[in-house]
Structure 1
Amino acid sequence: MNRSTIPPVWFRLPPGFYDIGPGDRDPLDRIAEFLGSTDARRDIAQLMDRFDELAVHQVVHTSIGLHPDDLVGISTSLFSLTIRRVEHPNPRATVAQTALDIAQSALWISSECRLIDLPSSLPCCLVAGCIAPPGEEQHLFQARVVTAHPNGQHVLILDLTSAATQHSGSYISVLEAITHTISFSDPTLSPSNTTGTSRILEVLL
């Protein structure tokens, strides 16, 4: 996908998430070292090694989540936003088919699928559960939300993935909360906009 054809999208991420790009390995390593988490450093290294692969799959934004965990010190998660152009004229059919394709992946060990009601009334579906990546012994938790862009030409896929499967319920809540903040017009121009603890992220305008 040509980056100039990606439609504008805004959303909020909760505290503890840090925007990342291919050049951010060193600062993220320093954060993980400061927090004293060898697991976080390992996860960051694996992510940065595979960063170039994400663009091939139309991933337009990535953030890493670092949150305190009583068991391991720091739980690491990866948030990503994918925007894909679609040809089907019916956004509900597009979202349903995309969610079905996700739910039918052979990687799932267990999963749930349900609809999410958005204030925009755009179709939205959540698929979440545990996956077994090829060649990896450790299972991962993954939550994926599919919704439509109001232009009718794109589908949005929000992902939140973590090895901290014990926090699956919390990660589902986080991803749902992020989904409810999605906007397709600049919220900073609204007179009713107030500044919260989250950041408003402008994706590839």
Structure 2
Amino acid sequence: MTADRGNSPKSTVGTSEPKPDYWYLIPHGYVPLDLDPPVEQIQALIAHVRSLPGDRRDQAERVLRFYAGIVTSMNAEGVLACLFGMHPDEEGGPVFSVLTFSTVTTPGNAKLAVAGLAAAAEGSAGPGVIPLELPSGLGYLSEEKRKMAAPGRQPAADSADPPTEEVWQGTVGIAGRGSEVIMIQIATPAVEFGDTYRDILLGIAHTFSFTDPNEPDEGSSQGGTSEPGSVAAAIRSDFG
């Protein structure tokens, strides 16, 4: 599977439709998810999972619960695009993650807000926000391990609290036009692979662009082509 070019979900294919707001490369192992699937599709998916052999069914049910929890959270937070990732671990088993794109509106100028956040982070002695210089402009990286509800699991007999599981979550914020900050986020229950997913997240961020790659660059007859040795060319090589 080669890397595909993604774009803002606000647009659809067709000359009469508005152009996408931004573009990015989708790395190996990620496929788009429907954030508002029809009931029939969910029922068919549940039936398929229940028909699997015991060991595979347990693993698939865990993924389905993770997906259900992520989708519920994404809809509540106004996520624009969601992609599901599956990659092999050292033993050949599957490792799952969720990649999302969303926007956050700042009170003022997004570039000033991101610059202020990055400047404050540079003076911090502890882990937190790391400023980034990206091809699309100023940004930052943050990551954390946190607990999230494990949907579909019943509370323990001696507790009324819903069960939780630990996830690794990485976020890149990119200053957009006006007051919007573009948020690119990866979450995975495979916390031991946090370093790997950080690299994937940064790779996506380096391919992110507000410029249509299909349009010719000024002074060039080749549209959407990166110079050999550039960061974008290196990311494209890594992703396919």
TM over 0.5: yes
1:142 aligns with 2:162: no
Q: Which AA in structure 1 matches 2:80?
A: V
Q: Superposed, which structure 2 residues align to 1:48-197 within 5 Å?
A: 48=68, 51-70=71-90, 73-89=93-109, 91-94=111-114, 96-97=116-117, 112-120=128-136, 122-133=137-148, 135-149=162-176, 151-190=177-216, 191-193=222-224
Given the superposition, is the C-alpha separation of residues 94 and 48 from structure 1 closer, same or farther in structure 2, using an over 3 Å criterion? same
Counterpart of 2:23 in structure 1 is 10
Cα distance in 1 for partners of 2:212, 2:57 equals 37
Q: Which AA in structure 2 matches 1:8?
A: D
Q: Deviations over 1:98-124 (max 9, x none)?
A: 998xxxxxxxxx95421111123x221
Q: How many residue pairs end up in the alignment?
A: 184
**Unpaired segments ≥5 residues, structure 2:** 1-9, 12-17, 121-125, 150-161, 217-221, 226-235
Residue 55 of structure 1, CA deviation: 3.0
Q: Deviations over 1:60-96 (max 9, x none)?
A: 0000100112358110000001112333135232464
Cα distance in 2 for partners of 1:168, 1:59 equals 22
Given the superposition, is the C-alpha separation of residues 137 and 55 from structure 1 closer, same or farther in structure 2, using an over 3 Å criterion? closer
Cα distance in 1 for partners of 2:47, 2:142 equals 31
Given the superposition, is the C-alpha separation of residues 28 and 181 from structure 1 closer, same or farther in structure 2, using an over 3 Å criterion? farther
Q: Which AA in structure 2 matches 1:176?
A: L
Given the superposition, is the C-alpha separation of residues 164 and 28 from structure 1 closer, same or farther in structure 2, using an over 3 Å criterion? farther
Contact 2:98/2:186 (<8 A) preserved: yes
Q: Which AA in structure 1 matches 2:93?
A: G
Cα distance in 2 for partners of 1:72, 1:147 equals 34
Q: Deviations over 1:5-32 (max 9, x none)?
A: 997111111110010013265579969x
**Unpaired segments ≥5 residues, structure 1:** 101-109, 200-205
Q: Which AA in structure 2 matches 1:144?
A: T
Counterpart of 1:203 in structure 2 is none
Cα distance in 2 for partners of 1:38, 1:8 equals 40
The structure number with the bigger radius of gyration is: 2
Contact 2:29/2:87 (<8 A) preserved: yes
Counterpart of 2:59 in structure 1 is 39
Q: Which AA in structure 1 matches 2:132?
A: I
TM-score (norm 1): 0.72
Root-mean-square deviation (CA), in Å? 3.8
Secondary structure of the residue aligned to 1:88 is: coil
Q: Deviations over 1:109-141 (max 9, x none)?
A: x95421111123x22111112112254442111
Counterpart of 1:103 in structure 2 is none
Secondary structure of the residue aligned to 1:82 is: strand
Cα distance in 1 for partners of 2:119, 2:163 equals 24
Q: Determine which structure has the larger strand proportion and give its number.
A: 1
